[in-house]
């Protein structure tokens, strides 16, 4: 990320400590993660030590200090979704994508994340792929979602043989 871009974001809110969260959110929004150079630039301009910004970046779940994949796959782990089987979905996605929950594939194609409730509880369990919500999921329906990601799950098109 260019320092000019970071400066632009800082201008949006003002180079003040109270604006730090918003600045970090916008950087994450544009770069898909929080690159170290961006953070050091923020520290310089806002006048806070790196230890403080690092603390913020690791405290809030919204931020990632590692580059994230091109496709972000998020599984909601809210109570309603849990009761309807969300952990099985995470397990299946982790298996098929080959990455643990919270991880990113080596080729930076996929990131699998969990989030503690997106507020679409009536549609649980829910998987969000690149911002699109897929509700009423089951391990079987996941196959279609994974196709969208370009991943073929084990036995994806399996039909009963009569």
Partner 1 sequence: MARLTSREALERLRAEIVGRRDPGRKAVAVCAGTGCVAYGSVKLTEAFRGEAERLGMDVEVRPTGCHGFCERGPLVVVYPQKIFYQRVQVKDVGEVLERTVGKGEVIERLQYTDPVSGERATYEEEVPFYRHQMRLILGSNGQIDPTSIEDYIGIGGYTALSKALFEMSREEVLEEVLAANLRGRGGGGFPAGVKWKGCKEAEGTPKYVICNADEGDPGAFMDRSVMEGNPHSVIEGMVIGAYTIGSEQGYIYIRNEYPLALQRLRIALESAREHGLLGRDILGSGLDFDIRVNRGGGAFVCGESSALMLSIEGEVGEPRAKHIHMVEAGLFNKPTNLNNVETWANVPHIVNRGSGWFCSIGTEGSKGTKIFSLVGKVNNTGLVEVPMGITLRDIVYKIGGGIPGGGKFKAVQTGGPSGGCLPEGLLDLPVDFDELTRAGSMMGSGGMIVMDGATCMVDVAKYFLDFLRFESCGKCVTCREGLKRLWEITDRITRGEGREGDLELIEELSECVAEASLCALGGTAPNPVLSTVKHFRGEYEAHIREKKCPAGVCKDLIRFSIDGEKCTGCMVCKKKCPSDAIIGEKKKVHVIDQSKCIKCRVCYEACPKKWAAVVIS
Partner 2 sequence: MAGVKYTVMGQEHEAERGASLLGELRKHGYVVPSLCYHESLTAYGACRLCLVEVRKGKRERLTTSCNYPVQEGIDVLLDTPKVARNRRMVLELLLAQAPGASQPLQALARRYGVKSVRFPAKDDEACILCGLCVRVCSEGIRAHALTFSGRGDRKKLGTPYSEPGVCVGCGSCAHVCPTDAISVEHDDRTRRMWGQSFELARCATCGASTMPVAQIDHVVSSTRLSRSYFELCDECRRHQSVERFNTVMGR
User: What six digits make up the tokens of 112?
Assistant: 């699998």
Closer CB to partner 1, 131 or 150, in the complex: 131
Handedness of CA 54, 67, 70, 27 (dihedral sign): positive
**Contacting residues for 154 by C-beta, under 8 A, at least 6 apart:** 96
Residues 18-57 that bind partner 2 (CB under 8 A): 36, 49-52, 54-55
| Three-state DSSP state, 75 | strand
User: What six digits make up the tokens of 76?
Assistant: 């909601």
What's the closest the beta carbon of residue 108 comes to partner 1, in angstroms? Answer: 22
Q: By rule CB under 8 A, what count of residues binds partner 2?
A: 9
Q: By rule CB under 8 A, what count of residues binds partner 1?
A: 54
- How far, rounded to the nearest angstrom, does the alpha carbon of residue 123 sit from its chain's CA centroid? 20
> Which class for 153: exposed (0-12), middle (13-18), buried (19 or more C-beta within 10 A)?
buried
Among 1, 15, 101, 121, binds partner 1 (CB under 8 A): 121
* Max CA separation in the chain (angstroms): 70
User: What six digits make up the tokens of 111?
Assistant: 């990131």
Assess 88 for contact with partner 1 (CB under 8 A). yes
Query: Pick from partner 1, partner 2, none: which does 25 bind, CB < 5 to 8 A by kind?
Result: partner 1
Assess 77 for contact with partner 1 (CB under 8 A). yes
Binding site for partner 2 (CB under 8 A): 36, 49-52, 54-55, 58-59
Binding site for partner 1 (CB under 8 A): 16-22, 24-25, 55-56, 59-63, 77-85, 88, 91-92, 95-96, 115-124, 126, 133-135, 138-140, 154-155, 158-162
């Amino acid at each position: 990320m260019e320092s000019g871009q970071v400066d632009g974001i800082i201008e949006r809110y003002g180079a003040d400590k109270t604006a730090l969260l918003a600045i970090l959110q916008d950087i994450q929004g544009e770069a898909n993660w929080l690159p170290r150079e961006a953070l050091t630039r923020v520290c310089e301009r806002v006048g806070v030590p790196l230890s403080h910004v690092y603390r913020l970046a690791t405290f809030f779940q919204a931020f990632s200090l590692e580059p994230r994949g091109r496709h972000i796959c998020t599984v909601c782990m809210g109570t309603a979704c849990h009761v309807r089987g969300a952990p099985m979905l995470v397990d299946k996605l982790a298996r098929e994508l080959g990455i643990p929950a919270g991880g990113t594939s080596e080729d930076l194609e996929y990131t699998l994340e969990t989030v503690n409730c997106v507020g679409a509880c009536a549609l649980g369990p829910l998987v969000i792929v690149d911002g699109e919500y897929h509700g009423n999921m089951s391990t079987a329906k996941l196959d279609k979602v994974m196709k969208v990601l370009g991943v073929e799950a084990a036995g994806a098109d399996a039909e009963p043989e009569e």
